Structure 1
C-alpha cells in the first residue's frame, strides 16, 4: 500500500469520525433519546438488509471486476440491489418500529445498495482515493441535508433524518455513476449464469461471517427495544458509538497490517509486525479511553442533552470490551491475511452466543447497564479466543503490549514520514 494512500485512508477515517459525531449530536439534540433510539434501530435494520444485498455487491463486485466485464458485474449488482431492497424489507414490515418508516427503509436499502455497488467498483479498480472521498461525503452530505431540512426549511419530524439520508444516497449514486459510466458499453451487458453462480457463492460466504459479527455488535439494541423501549436504545447507542470510535486507529492499523502480511512470505516477519500493531493499538486505545473517561458526565450532557446523563457510565462499563476488541481486530486481520478464516467464524459465533444469552438475562433486570455487561463479556470472551489461537503459534510476552522507548521513537518517526510498516 502506497504511503500516500495510507495517509489518505487514515485522514478519511478521522473525517468520517468527525461527521459521524456531528450526526449524533444533531440527532440527540433535535429528536432526543426516543428519536435516537428509532434512528439506531432503523440503521441496524438497514445494515442487516445490506448483508443480503452485499451477496452480489460489496466484495463480489470488487473481486469479479477484474475477471469479467464490468457491465456484466454491475448488471447483477444493480438488479440484485433492487430485488433485495424491496423484497427483504417487506419482511421487516411486521416489526413495530419498522412499520412506521417502511417506505423510507425501502428507498434507503435500494439506494444504499446501488451506491455500495459503485463504491465497490472503486475498490476493485484500486481507486482508493475516490473510495475515501465518497466515504467522507456520505456523512458530510447527510449532515448538510439535515441542517437544510431542519434549520433552514423548518421541518422537525423524525422522518426528516431518513429523508436527508435518502437524498444523500441518491446524490452520491448519481455522482459516482457519472465516473463509472464514462466508458460503459451497453452491448456488453448480458446474463451470464456462470457469473451469477460465482458471485452468489463468493458473496454469501464472505457475508456470513460479517453478518454474525454484526449481530454480536448490535443484537443488544433489539433486546433493549423489546424490554425497555426506544429511549433506552438511544441512550445506549450513543455510549456505544463514542466507545467504538476508539477503534478508528485499530481499524486503520488493521488494514495496513493486512496489506503487509499479504505481501510477505516471511512468517516470522508477519508475526513481528502483528505484535507491533498489537502494542500500538493497545496503548492508543488505553489513551483514548482514558481521555473519554476524564470528561465529566456534565460534558456529555452538554453535547447530547439531559437524556444522556448515563453516557459516561456506559463508556466505563464498555471499556474492557472495547480494549479487547481493539487488539483482537489486529490479530483477526492477521488470520484473514494468512487465510485462517475458521477461527474468525468461531470467534464470531461464540461472541454471538454470549450476547444472546447474557442480553436475555441481564437486560430485563438491569436495562442499559445489563446491555453494557452483556456486550463487554461477549467482546472479552470472543477476543480471548483469538489471543489464545495467536499465542499458540508464538510465545506470549507481556512486553507485546508495551512499546519500548526505541520502538516509540521509530513509530513516531514513521508516522511523520508516512511510512508506517514499510
Structure 2
C-alpha cells in the first residue's frame, strides 16, 4: 500500500476539478451545438484545429521540461522562470504569424481576417497558461493548479451566453468567448507567478539549450498525440462537410468523457514521477492506479454505449442522431487509450517522452491512411473506426515498451489485488464523513 494518500488525494482533487469544468464545458457545448447548428459547430471546430495543433507544437514541451527540471533541482527556480518567459515571447510571435498564414491558405475563404486573427491569438494565451502552470505542477502545488483550471470554462460559459445568444455573434462570438476566457486566465497566471518570482527575462544558454532539447522531444510527442486526435477532423473537412464534422465532434466529445479520470491522475503522476526518488517503486504505484481506474472506465463505456442513443438526441437535437453511431464505433479505442494516458505520464516524468513517439508515430500514419480510405464513403463513422484502430495500436505498443522498462507483467498492471481494495477502503475512511 502507498505510504500515504497524498498522491491519490491529489489525483482525486484534480478529478473533482475536471468534473466541475467538464459539467460547465458540457453545458457550453450543448448550447453551442444548438445555437450554431451542426454546420456552425463544425466550422467553429475546424477554425480551432490548426491553432490547437500549433499550441501543442510551439509549447516545445516547456511545461513538461519545467516540471522535470524543477523536480530534479538542477537549476535555480528564478533561472527556470526567466527562461520560460523568454521562450514564451518567442513562441507566441511565431505561433500567431504561422496560424494566420495556414488558416488563410488552407481553410474556407468565407472566414474574415478578423475571425482568423481572433482564432490565432488564442495561441499566446494558451501558451502562457501552459508554460506557467508547469511551475505549479513541478512544485507539486496541485490545489493551486486546480484553481486556475476551473476559471476558463466558467468565464467561457458566461461569454457564450452573452456573445452567441444575446448579441447574436454566433461563430465570431464563440471564438471571442474562447479567446477572452483564455486571456483572463493567462493574465491571472502571470500575476500569480509574479508574486512569488520576479518575472524577468533570463538568458541562461546552457539551461535554454537543455530546456529546448528535452522540451522538443516532449513537444514532438505531444504534437503526434494531438495530430492523432485531430487529423480526423482535418480529413473530414477536406473529404466530407462541416455538418459531418459537427456531428462527429459531438460523438468524440461524449466518448472522451471517459478520459477525465485517467487524465486527472496522469497530471499528478507526471508531477510525482519527476520528483520520485525511486522510479521503480513509483511504477508499482502506477500499476495500482491502472488496476483501479481501468475497470471504472470499462463500466463507464458500457453505460455510454447503452444510453447514448437516448441522451445525445435529447440534449443536442435529432439532427445529431448520427453522432450516436460514431460514438459507439469510437468507444473501444477510447477505453484502450485510458491506460495509455496513465502510463505515458509516468514515462514523461522519467524524462522518456521518446517512447511515446516510438509507440504513436506508426499509429498516426495508420490513422491518416484509414481516414483517407474510409471518410469519402463512410464520413464520421469511417473517421471513428480509423481512430479506434489507431488508439488500440498505440496503446498496445506503449504497454509493451512500459513493461520492458519497468519489468512489470500484465498481471501486475491489470489483475486486481487485495491491496487495491485496502487502498480504496483506506481512502473512504479518510473522507470527512459524519458518522
- So what's the TM-score if we normalise by structure 2? 0.85
Q: Structure 1 residue 203: deviation in Å?
A: 2.5
Q: Do 1:32 and 1:305's aligned partners in 2 also have CA atoms closer than 8 Å? A: no
Q: Deviations over 1:307-359 (max 9, x none)?
A: 21022212211111111111233333344455554432211101101101111
| Partners of 1:403 and 1:122 in 2: CA distance | 33
| Partners of 1:51 and 1:340 in 2: CA distance | 18
Counterpart of 1:77 (choices 87, 102, 105) is: 87
Counterpart of 1:19 (choices 16, 20, 24) is: 24
Q: Which residue in the other structure is 1:118 paired with?
A: 132
Q: Do 2:68 and 2:349's aligned partners in 1 also have CA atoms closer than 8 Å? A: no
Q: Structure 1 residue 259: deviation in Å?
A: 5.6
Change (3 A) 1:44 1:325: same
Change (3 A) 1:368 1:106: closer
Q: Which residue in the other structure is 2:107 paired with?
A: 96
2:213 matches 1:210:
no
Bigger shift: residues 247-256 or 58-67: 58-67
Q: Which residue in the other structure is 2:50 paired with?
A: 45
Counterpart of 1:34 (choices 39, 54, 73) is: 39
| Number of aligned residues | 414
Change (3 A) 1:70 1:25: same
Q: Which residue in the other structure is 2:285 paired with?
A: 273
Change (3 A) 1:60 1:295: same
Counterpart of 2:311 (choices 299, 309, 314) is: 299
Counterpart of 1:147 (choices 150, 154, 161) is: 161
Q: Which residue in the other structure is 1:372 paired with?
A: 384
| Partners of 2:139 and 2:428 in 1: CA distance | 29
Q: Structure 1 residue 381: deviation in Å?
A: 1.3
Q: Deviations over 1:82-110 (max 9, x none)?
A: 31232221331202248543111232222
Q: Structure 1 residue 221: deviation in Å?
A: 0.7
Q: Which 5+ residue runs of structure 1 have no aligned equivalent?
A: none
Change (3 A) 1:261 1:173: closer
| Partners of 2:30 and 2:53 in 1: CA distance | 24
| Partners of 1:375 and 1:42 in 2: CA distance | 21
Q: Structure 1 residue 257: deviation in Å?
A: 4.8
Q: Structure 1 residue 220: deviation in Å?
A: 0.7
Q: Structure 1 residue 237: deviation in Å?
A: 1.3
Change (3 A) 1:126 1:339: closer
Counterpart of 2:333 (choices 321, 331, 334) is: 321
Change (3 A) 1:249 1:37: same
Q: Structure 1 residue 131: deviation in Å?
A: 1.6
Change (3 A) 1:337 1:90: closer
Change (3 A) 1:236 1:62: same
Q: Do 1:53 and 1:80's aligned partners in 2 also have CA atoms closer than 8 Å? A: no
Counterpart of 1:240 (choices 252, 255, 272) is: 252
Specify the SS of the correspondent of 2:150.
helix
| Partners of 2:98 and 2:356 in 1: CA distance | 27
Q: Which residue in the other structure is 2:3 paired with?
A: none
2:189 matches 1:179:
no
Counterpart of 1:358 (choices 353, 363, 370) is: 370
Change (3 A) 1:57 1:338: closer
Q: Do 1:275 and 1:400's aligned partners in 2 also have CA atoms closer than 8 Å? A: yes
Change (3 A) 1:227 1:207: same
Q: Do 1:61 and 1:77's aligned partners in 2 also have CA atoms closer than 8 Å? A: no
Q: Deviations over 1:152-176 (max 9, x none)?
A: x432421100111222122222333
Change (3 A) 1:110 1:256: closer
Bigger shift: residues 138-147 or 258-267: 258-267
- So what's the TM-score if we normalise by structure 1? 0.87
Q: Structure 1 residue 300: deviation in Å?
A: 0.8
Q: Which residue in the other structure is 2:416 paired with?
A: 403
| Partners of 2:269 and 2:120 in 1: CA distance | 37
Matches within 5 A, 1:187-226: 189=201, 191-226=203-238
Q: Which residue in the other structure is 1:383 paired with?
A: 395
